[in-house]
Amino acid sequence: MGLTLCGKETVPHMVGHTRQQPAVQRHPRCRNPVRAVELRRKQTYNHQHGTVCTAAAVDAPEAQKEKHEQPQADQSPSTKHVRREEAILFQGFGWDSCKVGDWWNIVKSKIPDMKDAGFTHIWLPPPSQSVADQGYLPGQLYNLDSKYGNKEQLQELCKELKAAGIVPLADIVINHRCADEKGEDGVYNTFRDDITHKGEKVDWGKWAITCDDPDFGGEGSPDTGDDYGPAPDLDHTNDNLRSSIVDWMKWLQHDIGFEGWRFDFVKGYGAEFMQQYCGETVGNNAFNVGEYWADLKWGDDGLEYDQNEPRQTLVDWLEKAGGCFLFDFPTKGILAEAVRHSQYWRLIDHEGRMPGLAGYWPSRSVTFIDNHDTGSTQQHWPFPGHKAEETGYAYILTHPGMPCIMWEHYFDYGLGGCIKHLVEVRKRNGIDSRSSLSIKLAEADIYVAHVSDKLVVKLGSRSDMPQELVPQENEGWKIAATGKDFCVWEKQ
């Protein structure tokens, strides 16, 4: 194919540091947020219970909520009971799951565990044949013989997931596509479609590639997003291309069994096309989420306090994209710095809200602490380890937004018990993406928030807590979860 598949390039991360990033992914730099709004409390209380796993909700202004909230859509019959504002997403693979063999059947074997854990949706890896084993350099879209398994195994997996009440999401890679043959110009820009299928053929030519792609000789319109170097960028302004992509997605929905989408590298094409890709398949109000790796703001001293610019970038994309969600990269970056350096003052913005996308638009924010790129075996931008992940999950599983849990964290890293318990606390208290949040304290070594008047969440290493913030047993409060630098109380 003439492509760099698994090479790495060094991308500036912050002054004096670099991080390794895969050339195939071409993710933007991760820049930095917040400085501290220190809320001082004099009275303290020496509580003995350490920290707890919880999730807090953000108190967004009502006018902002009215502006951003969207009506909910019906799901397909098998998962109709799953309301997306209550979603708990599970990433059903890691970076090297493609190397394990028989992955679709491995995931199927874990369905009882996932159901017991309370996961409502599962994000599965790209299903099509791919130049790269992980699936992110797709070739023939309708060929589902991949390193994860075959078409029949995937159909059975989706069927069993839906029978268990878990909504399967496909990882949709449509910013780019690897061509099969060289054209007359000696460049790989001719696509084949060797699988018999319903709908339009996807045997495209140079017309399907953007004219400003620097490497693949495209004859389409200019790119509507960022360039992706390793593979030809697709021209989403072309009606025929979009129509054939929609046909393929309908096939994944109706013939394979998917009920939602995770879109890869959405900054590579215009957000306005999402309304067609979602609306003409599973619906704009199904659980559809995009990956927009926002470039955080870093300064000489590290991550800056104010991350309004990157989170506004995400809001601007969401406003054009219909009912789609986005992964909350600002929250991931801010939370990691807060935990890593004991800088919990970062977890409140100037308006008293959560500092990431969840502070602006919690019902469209999918929060997470790591995924197959940032953590897993790649470790490009990992969350702090040594059980600090418990603190991260205590935050996202008790706060507004829709939390996403990584496969390795649950099944491989010994965090499953803590995560399951926190999910139970979240569900038992009816916490969802729209829950209210009141942040009471955010200093270097302590963070305290009230969520929907049902949970009190404390993060940080400080063992003494202001007396007026300590939940009182005679008022009905009881410890619900504790762990590495966190504690969560619930009201009886």
β-pair type (446-451, 437-443): antiparallel
Cα separations (Å) of 426 from 72, 189, 318, 394? 21, 49, 26, 10
Helix axes 329-341, 308-320, angle to 10 degrees: 160
Catalytic site includes residue 443: no
CA 377/CA 396 separation, integer angstroms: 22
Catalytic site includes residue 264: yes
Helix axes 388-396, 416-428, angle to 10 degrees: 20
User: Which entry of 171, 223, 247, 264 is annotated as an active-site residue?
Assistant: 264
- Residue showing tokens 């959405």: 266
Kindly provide the b/e burial profile for residues 218-234, where b requires at least 16 CB atoms within 10 angstroms of the residue's own CB: bebeebbbeebbbbbbb
Helix or strand holding residue 317 (H, E):
helix 308-320
CA 58/CA 483 separation, integer angstroms: 22
User: Which entry of 213, 259, 291, 349 is annotated as an active-site residue?
Assistant: 291
CA 296/CA 402 separation, integer angstroms: 21
Tokens (6 digits) for 42: 């004099």
Q: Which residues contact 76 (CB under 8 A, 6 or more apart)?
A: 162, 259
CA 431/CA 434 separation, integer angstroms: 8
DSSP state of 352: S
Provide DSSP, 394-425. Answer: HHHTEESSEEEEEHHHHHTSS-HHHHHHHHHH
Helix or strand holding residue 293 (H, E):
none
237: left (phi over 0), alpha (psi -120 to 50) or beta: alpha
| Encoded amino acid at 148, one letter | Y
Alpha carbon dihedral 423, 426, 430, 435, in 10-degree steps, equals -130
Q: Which residues contact 18 (CB under 8 A, 6 or more apart)?
A: 10, 11, 12
Provide DSSP, 98-150. Answer: GGTS-HHHHHHHTHHHHHHHT--EEEEPP-S-BSSTTSSSB-STT---BTTB-
CA 154/CA 168 separation, integer angstroms: 10
Q: Which residues are catalytic?
A: 264, 291
